[in-house]
Amino acid sequence: MTQEGKLVVITGPSGVGKGTIVKALLSKYSQIFVSISATTRVPRQGEVDKKDYYFLSRDEFEQMINDHQLLEWAEYAGNYYGTPRQPVLEQINQGKIIILEIEVLGARLIKDSFPLATSIFILPPSLDILEQRLRGRATDAEEVIIKRLAKAREELAVSDEFDYQVINDNLESSIELVESIIFPAVS
């Protein structure tokens, strides 16, 4: 039996734990893949080009937009982020489950163009906890954290546009919940 491909969008504010949840799913399920995004943000310490992101100049990114090579893209806290089109379409055609871990504007675009995609919004238990997490990971400058928190307020206000909402209070339970959404039990 050939397995049907599936597009899963995981969205929610920066620092909420989307990346950690996705990493856990990738290590557990060989049929799950994550799309590697393009960005104009500078790499953080330890990030690897073509593995964590395709790190591009603004000119290179704009060229991809003009060439229609992106499935969706958005500007977020002063940088471009986007999903390369071809690998995602190929993986869906191959029957794989592909996860896009993206911010809210891009997630909305994907919902519009792929109505069958499953969309999951990850929420923090509170804004205070989100702020602590963003500061705790110590990867961003203060002005970047402030921009990301302002964005988070806007993003949280639209969480109910998406198919599922998961409050990331306890990481293990959040992972389980996301698993149950991606692999619904057949009754």
Residues lying near ligand 5GP in the complex (CB under 6 A) = 14, 18, 37, 41, 72, 74, 76, 81-83, 101-103, 105-106
For residue 72, the minimal CB distance to ligand 5GP (Å) is: 6
For residue 1, the minimal CB distance to ligand 5GP (Å) is: 32
For residues 76 and 162, which CB has a smaller minimum distance to ligand 5GP in the complex? 76
For residues 18 and 111, which CB has a smaller minimum distance to ligand 5GP in the complex? 18
For residue 48, the minimal CB distance to ligand 5GP (Å) is: 13
Residue with tokens 């039990």: 185
For residues 53 and 96, which CB has a smaller minimum distance to ligand 5GP in the complex? 53
Q: Cα separation of 185 and 49, whole Å?
A: 37
Q: C-alpha angle 48/53/56, rounded to 5°?
A: 100
Cβ(117)–Cβ(109) below 8 Å: no
What number of other Cβ atoms are within 10 A of residue 9's Cβ? Answer: 27
Q: Cα separation of 96 and 44, whole Å?
A: 29
The residue sitting closest to ligand 5GP, measured at its beta carbon, is 106
Q: Which two tokens stand for residue 80?
A: 């471009």
**Cβ neighbours for 46, distance < 8 A, ≥ 6 positions apart:** none
Q: Tell me the pairing of strands 79-84 and 70-76.
A: antiparallel
For residues 9 and 97, which CB has a smaller minimum distance to ligand 5GP in the complex? 9
For residues 6 and 101, which CB has a smaller minimum distance to ligand 5GP in the complex? 101
Q: Cα separation of 162 and 160, whole Å?
A: 5
For residue 36, the minimal CB distance to ligand 5GP (Å) is: 9
For residue 176, the minimal CB distance to ligand 5GP (Å) is: 21
